[in-house]
Structure 1
Amino acid sequence: MNVLYTARALATGDGRDGQARTDDGKLVVDLASPAQMGGDGNGTNPEQLFAAGYAACFHSALRVVARRAKADVTGSTVRAEVDLGSIGSGAFGIGVRLEVSLPELDAEEARTLVDAAHQVCPYSNATRGNVDVQLTLAAAGVAA
């Protein structure tokens, strides 16, 4: 891989109940386990950070493939949902659902772009074969 950029972050405290910060200080977040997992929920959590990162990265990849295809992605959005669950033997795993909205495109063109973005997106490439990623269109002609 030809490295174009390296992000650096440090987590401190008690893992899910601590703090994370980037080396440049642009991101500093308090971490807290979600209430659904017995935490106080008074901070963000790794799944929320992953969801935000995946949504932004996928949206960027979508815009790249749309530009190549000369497709109109005005008003496009990507919503990510990241599930955390038990996968047996005391281990945990995640699942991802991406809902893409492409209001200026018909469903067939939207699906083609979403599938192409899934091949380009670094998060999709990192999770492929290891994490179940479901891609849906927000509505006919609106999302993929």
Structure 2
Amino acid sequence: MAEHLFHLTANWPGLRNDIGDIKAGNLETQVSIPPEMDGPGVGTNPDEMLLGAAATCYIITLAAMMERSNLDKESLTMESIGVVDVTKGVITYKKIIHRPIIVLKHNATEKDCNLANKLAQQAEKSCMISRAIKGNVEIKLEAEIKTA
């Protein structure tokens, strides 16, 4: 078994509504509580970072699966939405919705379109971040397959 270690350093100079910073590999940014939760909204926040981790893991996994399947694409884009519930002071990250748009080459067949849809579903189940949060955060997939 090979383990990969990822390191992050954090500095939080003040109290709740202060601004901190984090550094992890190529990621270096300020962090604070978002304005939706009565924070200063400077830099990024844990909610955006979880959404970013889930979205980038998913789209990279999908692209790799499409490559291994020799499925040519014109483009692969995606919008992802994080749904956070705040009820009676309890904050719960409820759901992430991925909306990938796969545009296949103009000569794509119905079989290619079906394969793209199948890979979109498999990628969500195969992504390391999706597996890590499974059972805690619902992941919903709304894939759209088109031809150029």
TM superposition score normalised by structure 2: 0.77
1:62-106 alpha-carbon deviations (Å, 9 max, x no partner): 012112221123310232222222377835334211111101166
Q: Which has the larger radius of gyration?
A: 2
1:105-144 alpha-carbon deviations (Å, 9 max, x no partner): 665333211111112210111122221101012x4527xx
- Answer yes or no: is the 8 Å Cα contact 2:84–2:91 preserved in 1: no
Instruction: Structure 2 unaligned segments of length 5 or more: list them.
Output: none
Say how many residue pairs are matched: 139
Tell me how far apart the structure 2 counterparts of residues 57 and 15 of structure 1 sit (CA, whole Å).
30
Tell me how far apart the structure 1 counterparts of residues 122 and 61 of structure 2 sit (CA, whole Å).
9
Q: Structure 1's 73 and 91: CA in aligned 2 closer, same or farther, altered over 3 A?
A: same
Q: Kindly indicate whether residue 33 of structure 2 is the aligned counterpart of residue 33 of structure 1.
A: yes
Q: Which residue of 2 aligns with 1:9?
A: 8
- Answer yes or no: is the 8 Å Cα contact 2:102–2:145 preserved in 1: no
Q: Which residue of 2 aligns with 1:66?
A: 66
Q: Which residue of 1 aligns with 2:133?
A: 127
Aligned match for 2:142, one of 123, 136, 144: 136
Q: Structure 1's 110 and 16: CA in aligned 2 closer, same or farther, altered over 3 A?
A: farther
TM superposition score normalised by structure 1: 0.78
Q: Which moved more, 1:48-57 or 1:99-108?
A: 99-108
Tell me how far apart the structure 2 counterparts of residues 58 and 115 of structure 1 sit (CA, whole Å).
10
Instruction: Structure 1 unaligned segments of length 5 or more: list them.
Output: none
Q: Structure 1's 63 and 37: CA in aligned 2 closer, same or farther, altered over 3 A?
A: same
